[in-house]
Structure 1
Amino acid sequence: MSGQGFHVHGPHDHEVEHVAQHGGDHFTSRVAVLTAVLSTIGAIFGYLGGHSQNAALLYKNEAAIQKTSASNQWNYYQAKSNKQNLAELSITLTSGEVREKYVQEVERYKKEKQEIKAEADKLEAVAKAADQKSELEMHVHERWALATTLLQVAIAMAAITLLTRKRWMLFGVYGATALGLLAGAAGYLHI
Structure 2
Amino acid sequence: MSDDFHVHGPHDHELEHVSHHNSSHSFANQIAVTTAILATIGALYSYMGGATQANSMLYKNNAAIAKTEASDQWNYYQAKNNRQNLNLLALDLLPENKRSSYEKMAGRYEQEKEEIKAKAEALEKESVEWNHRSDEQMHLHHRWAQATTVIQVAISMAAISLLTRKRWLEWLMWGLSGVGVISGIFAILQI
Tell me the TM-score range normalised by the shorter chain.
0.7 to 0.9
Alignment of 1:85-164 (within 5 A): 85-164=85-164
- Aligned residue identity for 2:38: L
Give the Å deviation of 1:189. Answer: 0.7
Give the Å deviation of 1:96. Answer: 2.4
* 1:190 partner SS: coil
Q: Structure 2: which 5+ residue stretches go unaligned?
A: 1-14
Give the Å deviation of 1:81. Answer: 0.6
Question: 2:71 — aligned with what?
Answer: 71
Instruction: Measure, in 1, the Cα distance between the counterparts of 2:142 and 2:165.
Output: 34
1:106-143 superposed Cα distances (whole Å, 9 cap, x missing partner): 11110000000000011111111111000000000000
Give the Å deviation of 1:97. Answer: 3.1
Give the Å deviation of 1:41. Answer: 0.3
Give the Å deviation of 1:164. Answer: 0.6
Alignment of 1:162-177 (within 5 A): 162-177=162-177
Aligned residues: 173
- Aligned residue identity for 1:101: S
Alignment of 1:46 onto 2:46: yes
* 2:187 partner SS: helix
Q: Identity, % of aligned pairs?
A: 48
TM-align CA RMSD:
1.6
TM-score, normalised to structure 1, is: 0.87
Instruction: Measure, in 2, the Cα distance between the counterparts of 1:40 and 1:183.
Output: 15
Instruction: Measure, in 2, the Cα distance between the counterparts of 1:168 and 1:188.
Output: 30
Instruction: Measure, in 1, the Cα distance between the counterparts of 2:141 and 2:181.
Output: 14
Q: Structure 1: which 5+ residue stretches go unaligned?
A: 1-17
Question: 1:186 — aligned with what?
Answer: 186
Instruction: Measure, in 2, the Cα distance between the counterparts of 1:98 and 1:137.
Output: 60
Question: 2:8 — aligned with what?
Answer: none
